[in-house]
Amino acid sequence: MGSYGAVAAVPYHAWYGFLNRRFGLWTKTALEVGVAVPLFEIPALTTWTGVFGRNQTLKEAIAQLRKDYSTALAFGTLVWGPASLFTFSFVPPRFHLLTFYSIGAVWDWGISNIIH
């Protein structure tokens, strides 16, 4: 959902800058998969697409999040673990956001099939 991506780009730009200034490969990857995905990406994407994409109430979107969270977390780890290792290893920092958003197309497709 394009509107989510436009809004999420702001905190993610700051997040990747923070990671790149302070941490090495393994710590950045662990923070991406262990903090950003479970505490921001899954809840934000699920509620945003529920409310704005499926016309759910916020209460319904949160119920959907609770129902599908563990599956989304497993899928998120499967996608974002290798994606983070690849990006932080081989992609120049100024292209991290672009790379993650490109990989995010796979993530969005998978999540949309998990959360229905």
Pick 82 or 107 by higher pLDDT.
82
Pick 49 or 63 by higher pLDDT.
63
Q: Indicate the pLDDT class of residue 7, thresholds 50, 70 and 90.
A: confident
- Of 40, 44, 45, 38, the closest CA to residue 15 belongs to 40
- How many angstroms separate the CA atoms of 111 and 68, rounded? 10
- How many angstroms separate the CA atoms of 33 and 55, rounded? 29
Give how far Cα 34 sits from Cα of 41, 52, 95, Å. Answer: 11, 26, 22
H-helix segments, 23-57: 25-31, 42-48
Q: Per the structure, how many domains does the chain have? A: 1
* Residue type at 95 in one-letter notation: F
Whole-prediction pTM: 0.86
- Show the domain range for 86: 2-114
